[in-house]
Amino acid sequence: AQRVTQPEKLLSVFKGAPVELKCNYSYSGSPELFWYVQYSRQRLQLLLRHISRESIKGFTADLNKGETSFHLKKPFAQEEDSAMYYCALSGVNNNAGNMLTFGGGTRLMVKP
Amino acid sequence: ETGVTQSPTHLIKTRGQQVTLRCSSQSGHNTVSWYQQALGQGPQFIFQYYREEENGRGNFPPRFSGLQFPNYSSELNVNALELDDSALYLCASRGLAGGTYEQYFGPGTRLTVT
């Protein structure tokens, strides 16, 4: 079975401080990992995916297969980063189509 | 190009009733997935349709069923509603973006069962 765990429900930081949103997963095959973000009153949208290895809005995430983690990081948080963040996993060889398994989400609050 | 739309935005039903939720996929997307998001939790996969056939299902009972139409719009039907079915229901269509596939989510339908 595949599972995604986000241990923090809420993360509160001051503007300019570093941010790390934690994500751990369990999956027996080769997973594809994503971070989704939901800003206030907006729909869920993709922030980044591990295969792209890119930085989006200053955020990066590295897949660590040894630790089964995919933590989201940003060196200097901005107030506009305040949102709900979801880590998600898609199994490459599953028989459930392209299902995404989501973590419970972490609310990031960036204080001025 | 229009995004994923869902209707209605919210509705209230009584336990035991049946409900149909609708989704219009993003133009050109032939795969649609449905998710249930209970309050304070992440979305949970219900099922996926590709070219009008169900090709993946999560851990939901048979009273959750769906349809996809030739124009790739879709429906989620829930029979014999239970209080625990109260949630935000998300639809997502899948298509190419920058050379890779991406799921585009709709705004959701909030269902309250009393």
pLDDT digit string, tens, across residues B19-61: 999 999 887 788 999 999 999 999 999 999 988 999 889 999 9
Q: Distance (Å) from the C-alpha of residue A43 to the closest C-alpha of chain B?
A: 5
pLDDT digits (tens, 9 = 90+) for A64-80: 989 999 999 999 999 99
Nearest to A51 by CA among A59, A61, A37, A38: A61
Please tell me which residue of chain A has the smallest CA distance to B48: A97
Q: Which is it for strands A106-111 and A10-14: parallel, antiparallel or unpaired?
A: parallel
Q: Which residues in chain A land under pLDDT 50? A: none
Two tokens, residue B33: 């997935």
Point out the residue among A49, A95, A104 whose CB comes nearest to the CB of B41: A104
Q: What is the pLDDT of residues B64-95, one digit of tens each?
A: 999 999 888 999 999 999 999 999 999 999 88
What would the mean pLDDT of B104-110 be, rounded to a whole number?
Answer: 96
The verdict on whether omega for the bond into residue B43 sits within 30 degrees of 0, i.e. cis, is no
pLDDT at B1 over 60: no
Tell me what percent of chain B is helix, strand and coil, each rounded to the nearest 5. Answer: 5, 55, 40
